Amino acid sequence: MFFYYLRLSALSYRRNPILSSLMVLAIAIGVGAYMVIFTLNYVMGGNPIPQKSDQLFHLQIDSGNPNTESDPPEQLTYIDARALIEADAAFRETPSSKISGIIEPEGDDARPFSVIGRGAAADFFTMFNVPFLYGTPWDESADRNLQQVAVITKELNERLFGGEDPSGQTLRFHSSNFQIVGVLDDWAPVPKFYDVNNNPFDGGEEIFIPWNLVAPMEFSRSGNTNCWKAPDPGREGFLNSECVWIQYWVELRDGEEEEDYLQFLNNYVAEQKEFGRMPRPMNNALFDVEEWLLKEEVLPNETKILSALAAMLLAVCLLNTIGLLLSKFLGKSGEIGVRQALGAHKGSLFMQHVIEAGFIGLLGGIIGLGVAAAGLEGIKVVLGDDLMMTDWIQLNPPVVAVTLVLAIFATIAAGFYPIWRACNVNPAIHLKTQ
């Protein structure tokens, strides 16, 4: 019977093409516009590493200002980061800081250029499932021995070595020689969860070096630095200060490891308090990826406001659809009367029209995909591609599925009252000749 009803739906569409097309259009616009905003919310507020997001934690250590009520700092001081990486208390861990430096390519006519990079420990690559095109991450011993090794991105490799495997080659970076040990494959998580401090949606760094080199080699810091207390002058003063500029992630495999690590942090902070640091009450915490993104309010308010507005736009389109469906189904009273007289009971009439509503919903959903695709392209244009990554602003399979399901079910829901009204007509009235 399903295919019979489907055929009836198509015939019914052809009989009132204008009315039916208006319905399809209303649903397409409402669902399409809503899905544009849905995509933004889904990706920007989503989980960029769902396979292990509940095992990756960012630390919170409250080394902040005892005289104010402000939130705990979002990053760590150099003293704390060094102490934690030395202690090596987690299954895997990495400090992380954004840096900048100059690369001097080989060849007399090659001009030096500036790049944004990141200092990280060897564990960074295994913790975050970073894919490699050539080579491998450096070994932990390279971190400890302050070896000058580097991992570069695919794009940087194209620029410097024409895309060939550069493993073992020397790169002059920050006026010093680094040995390249690996090249990253395409990797651009959205949001850039491992560093949400400057722009959580930007393209990511081009070169990675062991974090332990950042301070001794006096790299320029490129991220956010916050000091609640003015540091003593000079480089040493800065490194010993309460200025925070370092992100710190740990990987903990289960609840027991989490408890143990939190205990370790508490012991560390208690110890620091005895040295006169950490004047605020103990407030250590571990935030997994999703919790961290929520806490740092990575999803912009704009997307949330747009969600509410898009929902109202969808509501208006559905209200329109109810009106249109009512008009269409009431117009079919004659046909419904005849069917009833021929023995169709209310249930099958209901089913027939639910399927018709679903059919219109499906058509609306398909055209809605077109509307959504156009809308997403429009957003890409309006945002520009120079300030943030916009590659992810496009339809993806989960979004396509949600669009079609939403369109079908919304139209069916909109159709309940009109169908009920239409099926409850007294057949006798419509069987009389006018």
Partner 1 sequence: MEIGPILRALTRNKLGVILIALQIAFTMTVMVNAVFIINERSKAMGRPSGLDEPNMFYLSSTGFGEQFNSEVTEQDDLQLLRTMPGIVDAAPTNAIPVSGSGSSNALRLENDPTLPAVISAVYYTDDHALNTMDLNLIAGENFNSSDVLYQTASEARDYDRSVVSLAFAEALFPEEGLESVGRVFYNGDYPVQITGIVERLQTPWPNNSFVEHAMLVPLNFIGSTSTYLIRTEPGERDRLMVETEEILASNNPNRIIRGLKSMDETREETYRLDSAMATILLVVIVTLVFITSMGIVGLAVFGINRRRKQIGTRRALGASHGQILRYFMLENFFISGAGVTLGALFTIGFSIALSSLFEMPTMSWYYTPLGMVLLILIGQLAVLGPSTRAARIQPAIATRSI
Residues that bind partner 1 (CB under 8 A): 22, 26, 29-30, 33, 65, 67, 102, 104, 111-114, 174-175, 220, 228-230, 233-235, 238, 300-302, 304-306, 308-310, 312-313, 315-317, 319-320, 322-324, 326-327, 378-379, 382-384, 386-387, 417, 434
Least distance from partner 1 to the Cβ atom of residue 375, Å: 8
Cβ-based nearer residue to partner 1, 243 or 362:
243
Least distance from partner 1 to the Cβ atom of residue 124, Å: 25
Cβ-based nearer residue to partner 1, 175 or 263:
175
- Say if residues 356 and 5 touch (Cβ distance below 8 Å): yes
Least distance from partner 1 to the Cβ atom of residue 242, Å: 12
Cβ-based nearer residue to partner 1, 1 or 18:
18
Least distance from partner 1 to the Cβ atom of residue 306, Å: 7
Least distance from partner 1 to the Cβ atom of residue 402, Å: 20
Cβ-based nearer residue to partner 1, 40 or 184:
40
Least distance from partner 1 to the Cβ atom of residue 85, Å: 24
Cβ-based nearer residue to partner 1, 85 or 357:
357
Cβ-based nearer residue to partner 1, 122 or 422:
422
Least distance from partner 1 to the Cβ atom of residue 299, Å: 12
Least distance from partner 1 to the Cβ atom of residue 60, Å: 22
CA neighbours closer than 13 Å in the CB half-sphere of residue 267:
10
Cβ-based nearer residue to partner 1, 32 or 365:
32
| Phi, psi angles (nearest 5°) of residue 52 | -140, 25
3-state SS track over the chain: CHHHHHHHHHHHHHHCHHHHHHHHHHHHHHHHHHHHHHHHHHHHCCCCCCCCCCCEEEEECCCCCCCCCCCCCCCEEHHHHHHHHHHCCCCEEEEEEEEEEEEECCCCCCCCEEEEEEEECCHHHHHCCCCEEEECCCCHHHHHCCCCEEEEEHHHHHHHHCCCCCCCCEEEECCEEEEEEEEECCCCCCCCCCCCCCCCCCCCCCEEEEHHHCCCCCCEECCCCECCCCCCCHHHHHHCCCCEEEEEEEECCCHHHHHHHHHHHHHHHHHHHHCCCCCCCCCCEEEEHHHHHHHCCCCCHHHHHHHHHHHHHHHHHHHHHHHHHHHHHHHCHHHHHHHHHCCCCHHHHHHHHHHHHHHHHHHHHHHHHHHHHHHHHHHHHHHCCCCCCCCCCCCCHHHHHHHHHHHHHHHHHHHHHHHHHHHCCCHHHHHCCC
Least distance from partner 1 to the Cβ atom of residue 42, Å: 17
Cβ-based nearer residue to partner 1, 282 or 316:
316
Cβ-based nearer residue to partner 1, 34 or 138:
34
- Alpha carbon 58 to its chain centroid, in Å, reads 17
Least distance from partner 1 to the Cβ atom of residue 401, Å: 24
Q: Which residues contact 167 (CB under 8 A, 6 or more apart)?
A: 134, 135, 180, 181, 182, 183
CA dihedral 39, 224, 93, 170 (to 10 degrees): 100
Cβ-based nearer residue to partner 1, 58 or 328:
328
